[in-house]
Amino acid sequence: NSYFQQLNNVIDIAHHGRVEFDYFCCINLPQDDGTMKRIYLDVEIQNVENPGYAPLTRGNDYLSRMITSQNGKEYDYRNYDGMKKTYVIWILPQATKKRDGHVNCINSKLENISGSTIERLES
């Protein structure tokens, strides 16, 4: 359908190397005002619970590459506001019994340390 588009799961970024996602797509979400909002989604299956590094660290790398790959398509140096949200879902089918059924969400959020300036949530 026109809302869901599977993308090439290999991204080569000059001077940064190649990453191969398990399943990479974009989803166009219709909004109440008739516009579309696009998000990028990567779904990863990690069969080894402890591969020698934290999957969270790898997830951050994948998110960064998903954002960087939008440069020149969704945004450029004149319009960073065109950048689309990105999500990575990690599925660990071989997780230990103590982790069975667990769902964790990790996100970035603004924390005001000093002053009263608050950025818009959508930014």
Digit-coded pLDDT (tens) for 16-40:
788 899 999 999 999 999 999 999 9
Per cent of the chain over pLDDT 90 is 43
Average pLDDT in the chain = 87
Assigned token pair, 23: 């399943």
43: nearest Cα among 66, 21, 12: 21
- 58 SS3 class: helix
**Is 122 part of a structural domain of the chain?**
no
65-89 pLDDT, tens digit per residue, is 999 889 999 999 899 999 999 999 9
**Is 55 part of a structural domain of the chain?**
yes
**Is 114 part of a structural domain of the chain?**
no
- Total domains present in the chain: 1
29: nearest Cα among 105, 107, 84: 84
Rounded to 5 degrees, φ, ψ at 67 are -70, -45
CATH number of the domain within which 79 lies: 3.30.300
Assigned token pair, 4: 């869901």
Cα–Cα distance for residue pair 18/15, rounded to 1 Å:
9
Is the distance from CB of 36 to CB of 78 less than 8 angstroms? no
pTM (2 d.p.): 0.81
**Is 117 part of a structural domain of the chain?**
no
**Is 34 part of a structural domain of the chain?**
yes
